[in-house]
Every structure is written in structure tokens, then in C-alpha cells.
Amino acid sequence: MSKTINTIVAIALVSLFPALTIYAGLNAPTVEFSEGQAIIIATDYLKGSPTFSFDGIEDTIELADVDTIRMPNTWSVTLKFDSRHAGYGNRAGEMVAQVITEHTMVIMVSNGEVISAITDDVFDEITEILQPVDTSLEEAEQLALDWLMAAPTFSFDGIEGSMSIIDTVLAESYPVQYFVTISFTCAQPGYGDRTGEVLAQVITEHTAKVVVSSGEVRSAVIDDTWDEFNQREKISSEILPPEEALNIVIEYLQENYDETETLDVDIEWSIANLTPENLVGASTIEYSGNGWTITIHYPVVWKPNYSFKVEHTSGFTWSGTVDQSGSVTETE
């Protein structure tokens, strides 16, 4: 860096942080930064980072931790925030899960500059490169067992030795997700910590579905009824099913394209599931009939958006999406 650029940087830092103390050195000025200034720099960086700037929720940013590093004027700042979708970085044009996602970003600030920023231990915000966390099948299953055993339902009256793994499925996602199904038995009915409740002395069998990703348990639901992760009844809501989304697309095409005269909701469709076996993170369904082929792709999440590709033997093609409100957006 030239002397001129060094001078400009020094002046800029002084104008941004008037409280900084500048000490005269033999070669160049040395700027001393405080913890508070490091937090400001880290927070500003987070707001402009690829992940947060795409869909971060402004009022969710919170300081989780700040530590000094064994380097002059260097701090490690940990910030938490929520995004409106799953994933990392700029996801423009990607199919992303419509789910509020919690993130943790660790930002290292040295001499007023961000030199490192990693989100959830897997995404480098500076290089925009994912850093996979390798969790083996055996590790994921053990994490699920240990977590469920320590959770309120089993720890209250779970019968020792009754817990066993029924099935584990690898999801088509990044980072990798494991869906672990576990059976166990409790001495009494109910869920969670039931201290003070009047309980029947009835041996009760349960089945839990636990999701493990990046070395952590992300979700746990017992008997498809109780959210063990959040300790509440499982929230259920009406969602737009793919079959209804298909009808919406057909009606939209009929209204907007003359080439779709032969396309009708009453076609006797031949339906094929194109989802790879044992991959449950996303589904792909193909409908074909009367010269038409319609492919639907969607993530297996709560209230998904559906992506459509419509083709006809005449050469007509169309692509678009349908959200949970039934709104159609053309993508091609």
C-alpha cells in the first residue's frame, strides 16, 4: 500500500472514530481500537455481508460475545441474526426454503478491518465459499440419541434401555441433514416436564423424529404431536399442496397463452416421482399426459414455494413459481 493510500486510510479512520487515540511511531501512526469500536465495525460488516444483505431481518441482530485475540487491536465479535430463508450468501435465482433461519456470525476485526467472517461455522462471508462440517451417520445418530435422552420428555420418566433407532435418512440438502427416527418408552403418558400433573401410571410408547445438521440437533418432534425442541404442541397450518399448485398453473396458462388450448385440469395424468431414493430434502414430481409434461420441484419444508417447468410436444415451454398464497410468477 502506498504512503498516500496509508494517509487516506488513517484520515478516514479518524473521521469515522474521533475518539481513537493515535500514537506517533517511528514509521507510521498507530491507531488504538476499543472493544466498542470493533463491535461497530463488525455490525456494519454483517449488515453488508452476502447472507444478511440478501434476506437478513434488521431488528434481530444481537451481540452474543466479544473476545480479545492475542494480536494488537484485534477482536473476535460474535453476532446472532435471523434470515427469512434458509441458506447462505446471495441466493438470487435459487429455490430457497421459506423458513425463518437463525444464524451466528463470528467476525474478526483487526486494526479497524474485518479479516475473517464465518457464519454458522460453515460459510465464509468474505470468499462466499461453504465450508462443510462433516458429520458421519454414526455421529448424527449418537447426537440424536444423546439429545433426546437429555430432553424433558425422556428425562422425566423415560425407561432406561428402551430407546432405539428405527431409521435414519440422509436429506438432499447443504449442509447435510440426517432425519433420525427413534422409539422409546415412558412410564406415564404426556410430554415434557410433567412435574405437578396428575398422571396415569401407563407405560407409553413414543416415536421421535430428530433432525441433525452440522453437528447439532435442529428439530425434534415426538409422535408428530409434540415439538420437543421448543417444548410446545406441534404447530400445524393449512398449506397449499402441490396438486392445487398444479391446477393454479394450468388455469394461469389457459388464461394467458393461446398455445395451451389442449391443457386442462381434467387430463388423466401419468404421475412419476423423480425424487432420488432416500433423499428427503426436496421432491420432484412429473405429470405427463395429452402431449404435456409438467415438472414440479419443491423443498420439503413448511409452506414451500413450488417451481414449475411446463413443456408440450409442439415446442411450447414455460417456467414459473407458485407461492403459498397461490400467486404465480413467471421465471422464463
At 209-222, the pLDDT tens digits run 998 877 888 889 99
Residues 262-272 as b/e (b if ≥16 CB within 10 A, e otherwise) read ebeeebebeee
The pLDDT, as a whole number, for residue 312 is: 95
User: Judging by beta carbons within 10 Å of its beta carbon (0-12, 13-18, 19+), is residue 118 exposed, middle or buried?
Assistant: middle
Cα separation, 86 vs 117, in Å, equals 18
- Tell me the mean pLDDT in the region 283-290: 91
At 160-194, the pLDDT tens digits run 999 999 999 876 555 677 889 999 999 999 999 99
Q: Long-range CB contacts (< 8 A, 24+ apart) of 134-138? A: 135/176, 135/178, 135/212, 135/213, 135/214, 135/215, 137/168, 137/170, 137/178
Mean pLDDT over the full length of the chain:
83
The pLDDT, as a whole number, for residue 326 is: 82
The pLDDT, as a whole number, for residue 172 is: 52
The pLDDT, as a whole number, for residue 281 is: 66
127's CB contacts (< 8 A; 6+ apart) are none
Residue carrying the nine cell digits 416415536: 207
At 98-112, the pLDDT tens digits run 778 999 999 999 888
At 49-99, the pLDDT tens digits run 999 999 999 999 999 999 887 677 889 999 999 999 888 899 887 766 677
Helix or strand run (H / E) with residue 68: strand 62-68
